[in-house]
Amino acid sequence: MKKILSKIRSNIRINKNLFIFLLVIVMVGLASGSVFVTILNNDDKLMVSEYLNNFLTNLNGNNLNYSGTFVNTLIFTIGAVILIWLLGISVIGFALILIFLFIKAFSLGFSVASIIVNFNFKGVLISLAYTIPHHVINMMVYILISSYALVLSYKLISSFTKKKNFNFKDIFNRYSFILLFSVIILFISSLYEVYGAPIVVKFVVSILN
pLDDT tens string 64-122: 788 888 999 999 999 999 999 999 888 778 889 999 999 999 999 999 998 888 888 88
Q: Is residue 179 part of a domain?
A: yes
CA 23 to chain centre: 12
Helix (H) or strand (E) holding 205: helix 197-208
> Domains in the chain: how many in total?
1
Q: Is residue 124 part of a domain?
A: yes
Q: Is residue 190 part of a domain?
A: yes
Distance CA 43, CA 10 (A): 51
Q: Is residue 37 part of a domain?
A: no
- Average the pLDDT over each of 35-39, 51-55, 147-151, 185-189 and give the range with the smallest value: 51-55
Q: Is residue 11 part of a domain?
A: no
Distance CA 153, CA 137 (A): 24
Q: Is residue 127 part of a domain?
A: yes
Q: Is residue 4 part of a domain?
A: no
pLDDT tens string 11-68: 556 677 888 899 999 999 999 999 998 888 877 778 888 888 787 777 776 777 888 8
Range of the domain at 98: 66-209
pLDDT tens string 124-133: 888 888 888 9
Q: Is residue 50 part of a domain?
A: no
189 neighbors 77 (Cβ within 8 angstroms):
yes
